[in-house]
Structure 1
Amino acid sequence: MPKAQSVRPLALPVVSPRLLLTAAGVVVLLLALAYLVAFDQGALSRSGMYMHELMHDGRHLLGVPCH
């Protein structure tokens, strides 16, 4: 009968809370930017037609259907 092997637990690296907070902030910022470029039709970007046209051109550049 073969000898039983000892099993060691898997050591996972500890992630610092500061790194998690920074990563969450970056994700929120990127989601807000994606919303402004891809979906906002002027509801949040009320700074005139310049911002609307900039976002509109960004949609075309990224291939997001907008009209």
Structure 2
Amino acid sequence: YDGAPSDGSAWKMGDSRRSSFHIMRGGSWGSYPVNCRSAYRNLHPPENRNDSIGFRVVSVPPGSLS
């Protein structure tokens, strides 16, 4: 870990290209099934907007899982 802080603080320096990206978790209706898991992560620039990125709320009616 060449260049890492030795005092226990967070590593604040890094690849400036990567640090300007945000992490998106999960996939969309157009993704491959393996990318639809909540564990899937991908990098996107903060200005990235499209109809396949967003927050989806799911509700399961009571008794429907029994």
Higher strand share: 2
Give the TM-score taking structure 2 as reference length. 0.23
More helix by share: 1
Question: Larger relative CO (CA 8 A, sep 6+): 1 or 2?
Answer: 2
